[in-house]
Chain A
């Protein structure tokens, strides 16, 4: 009769991805390319917000976008029409991007030729929060119609993000969204989170968001 052996492993399951992300961040720092990972639910307005952001920054920065929308080239096409470079990652139903996939996108777009690259992560508030993409900053978009209770349902996403954009504030009058309650919930999870109220549709608050990006870039270089 064979003996059962107990073998100690003590390894982190996500250590490969964490290491790949660390290496990627180092490479990007050497190239002086700043990367922002944009996360939200489907339909929160990632693409519209990106288009508005590109419009405001395209004369001062070389901007690229890595699109990870599931099996669609619609978003990448819209971005290209705005004047920024875009690559489409075919994630084929994958629920998130990991560092290896992001590296493929960065290599594809030629990251060293850009000052600022946005990763448009897969629309999902669960999985993208678990995987470090190698980006310098994580930005999350929460749109008004989604409701102010999301920090209670998806705490990890609110924990890993550096800045929260409350989008579609033009719809505030039609909803019972409680901004003060949302701010309180978010800050209880993550006291340092910056919260900006924007409307990609009307342009309200977009200047503050663009300033946030400029400050982040100044601190980076």
Chain B
């Protein structure tokens, strides 16, 4: 849905680091994206290829690692992973409390690292 602005942001950060490290070409970029995001890998790469023309990041491969959704039960403190389609359906697997959780992770959009020449 909003892959375009996200891609612009990725490119900006990558080009900045390419300059700082005085590299001529970026080969790959590793992203960590939370499972709660609706980002589509295929479109992200597509937009990236388009936007990165004439930059040191042209042709770079986006490697997307999905980070799991982790919830924390506020009754017993237990942290547990769930799939997106289980959200709103699962009780705490440790104490059985229904619906008293906070989100620990699953929303992140991080650029972890890049490989460059």
Contact = CB atoms under 8 A, between A and B. Distances in A.
The yes or no verdict on A and B being binding partners is yes
Interface of A: 2-14, 16-17, 95-96, 98, 124, 126-127, 130-131, 151-152, 155-156, 158-159, 184-189, 191
Given A5-B21, A151-B87, A191-B74, 5 more contacts: A6-B115, A7-B23, A13-B109, A98-B5, A185-B88
Contact of A5 (B1, B37, B85, B117): B117
A65 to B, nearest CB: 23
Contacts of A131: 2
B116 A13 contact: no
Contacts of A188: 87-90, 98-99, 101
B110 A12 contact: yes
Interface string B83-117: 01101111000000011110100011111111111
A156 B21 contact: no
B117 A4 contact: yes
Given A7-B17, A7-B114, A184 B99 contact: yes
A62 B14 CA distance: 44
Nearest to A1: B117
A124 B1 contact: yes
Contacts of B74: 191
B21 A14 contact: no
B88 A5 contact: no
21 contacts: A4-B27, A4-B115, A5-B116, A7-B23, A9-B13, A10-B110, A12-B110, A13-B10, A13-B13, A95-B1, A126-B2, A130-B2, A151-B87, A152-B85, A155-B36, A156-B36, A156-B37, A158-B88, A185-B89, A188-B88, A189-B87
Contacts of A14: 6, 9, 109
A43 B21 CA distance: 49
Contacts of A189: 87-88, 99
A186 B100 CA distance: 11
A11 B115 contact: no
A6 B114 CA distance: 6
Contact of A7 (B10, B110, B113): B113
Interface string B39-72: 0000000000000000000000000000000000
B52 to A, nearest CB: 15
A8 B31 CA distance: 11
Given A127-B2, A184-B99, A4 B88 contact: no
Nearest to B74: A191
Given A5-B116, A184-B99, A11 B21 contact: no
A9 B98 CA distance: 39
Contacts of B99: 184, 187-189, 191
A90 B115 CA distance: 39
User: Interface centre among B38, B98, B112, by most A CB within 10 Å?
Assistant: B38
A158 B88 CA distance: 10
A96 B2 contact: yes
Contacts of B85: 152
A13 B9 contact: yes
Contacts of B27: 4
B84 A9 contact: no
